[in-house]
Structure 1
Amino acid sequence: MRTVTMYPVVDAEKCRGCKICERVCPVLSIKVEAKKAAVALEHCLGCANCEQRCPETAITMVRLEQPRLVRQAMDGLDQDAVAGLCRKARLNPKQIICYCTATRAEEAAAAILAGARSPEDVSRMTGVRSGCKVECIQPVLRLLRAAGIVPERPAKGYQWYGLTPTAWDIPEEVKKKYGKRGFYFDEDRKVLELVVAADERSEG
């Protein structure tokens, strides 16, 4: 989850309509219309990416009078389905997938089961990808694919980096080539499988 405490204000006199802000927004909440940036505050997570990247310093982050909490409720959802989706994506449900917001895999999975169909949807519903905006695209894409969803990448977005290989994707020829050089691919995978399968109810 994320507590939104700031929102961007655009100085129309400074804005040149370059669209960089539009491209770096993880929730697509800022658009350039008539060569001026406009913010849809109902989707904005206050991440300040637009402010930090604006070459004209035309955007200023302003404190909200009333902070807004963004989180996906788990109530009413099939918890076994949530856990099953996480494990299909090779993630433990309790595993933190976004350290900036402390969002766990189960919350992102719940958002997908509740209707999210893209990384932007998952972000709007959970707050994930609103901190560093770099690392957590991977588990979000893995969860979407595990749900059978292959979202279209935004034509103008900069925030997608594609899936990187995991321990489950390493080809046999690579294992064979590097296995004698101190790499333990299969052993690493077994450890990761134990992490994915771990159940907090069985602890202690």
Structure 2
Amino acid sequence: MNRKAVVDPERCRGCANCEQRCPDYAVTMVKRDKPLQVGVDVNEVNYDEVVALCAKAKLHPEQRICYCVGTRADEVAAAIIKGARTPEEISLVTGARTGCTIECIQPILRLLEAAGCELKPPEGGWQWYGRTATAWDLPEAVKQKYASRGFYFEEDRAVLDKLVEEGIKGGDA
């Protein structure tokens, strides 16, 4: 199509997804003059609000939700409390979704949904997989259908609830 890639250095997090996905191999990554560090300091917000948001999303605050860069649920919750309202905004301030972009979208969407943010797929650019069902979302018919096959949905949910509850009661972050 003869379109030229334009990089906004303020928004680029060096994930190389554009380079990997360009069908014309027209994007080449270059090293920054100075390393870019991003992150949200959870100490800049009320940590009780962070814990409450994580609990509502059924995530332990210390749970790693982006394995590629090590972003935890409490940092994403703090980003939301500070005003991030989309997965893209969360990526810009925390660095989450700058690796594989696949695994962390679900907990990010859960946290945004728990915060009351209206979620809709972005136009162009970012991968979006939508919300998948969790242990808390499974319909009773699904649980019954698979119970005879050795699935223990209620027991699994109880374990997950306990982990979230432990996060609420207070591991220090």
What TM-score does the superposition give when structure 1 sets the normalisation length? Answer: 0.79
* Counterpart in the other structure of 2:23: 55
In structure 2, which of residues 34, 38, 42 is the aligned counterpart of residue 74 of structure 1?
A: 42
SS in 2 for 1:191: helix
The 3-state SS of whatever aligns with 1:192 is helix
1:148 is the counterpart of 2:116: yes
Cα distance in 2 for partners of 1:184, 1:175 equals 8
Tell me the equivalent position of 1:90: 58
Query: 5+ residue gaps in structure 2?
Result: none
Point out the structure with max Rg over C-alpha.
1
Indicate whether 1:36 and 2:12 are aligned.
no
Displacement of 1:202: 6.0
Query: Partners of 1:202 and 1:163 in 2: how far apart?
Result: 28
Q: More deviation in 102-111 or 75-84?
A: 75-84
| Distance in 1 separating the partners of 2:22 and 2:85 | 29
Q: Which residue of 1 aligns with 2:107?
A: 139
Return the alpha-carbon distance in structure 2 between the equivalents of residues 157 and 70 of structure 1: 20
In 1, are the aligned partners of 2:38 and 2:94 still within 8 Å (CA)? yes
Q: Are residues 202 and 133 of structure 1, via their aligned partners in 2, closer, same or farther at CA, if it must alter by over 3 Å?
A: closer
| Higher helix residue share | 2
Count of residues in Structure 1 that have an aligned counterpart in Structure 2: 171
- Specify every segment of 5 or more residues in structure 1 that has no aligned partner in the other structure, as ranges: 1-15, 18-34
CA distance in 2 between partners of 1:181 and 1:151 (Å): 35
Please point out which of 105, 112, 115 is paired with 2:80: 112
- The letter of the residue matching 2:73 is A
- Could you tell me which of 148, 151, 163 is aligned with 1:180? 148
Q: How far off is 1:158 after superposition?
A: 4.7
The one-letter code of the counterpart of 1:92 is H
- Return the letter of the residue paired with 1:121: E
1:36-87 Cα deviation digits (max 9, x unpaired): 2211110110000011111221111111121010101223311000110011
Coordinate RMSD, CA, aligned:
1.6
SS in 2 for 1:189: helix
Shift of residue 178 of structure 1? 1.6
Name whichever structure is richer in strand by fraction: 1
**Residue 191 (structure 1) aligned with residue 153 (structure 2):** no
Percent same amino acid among aligned pairs?
Answer: 54
Cα contact 2:5–2:27 (8 A) shared by 1: no
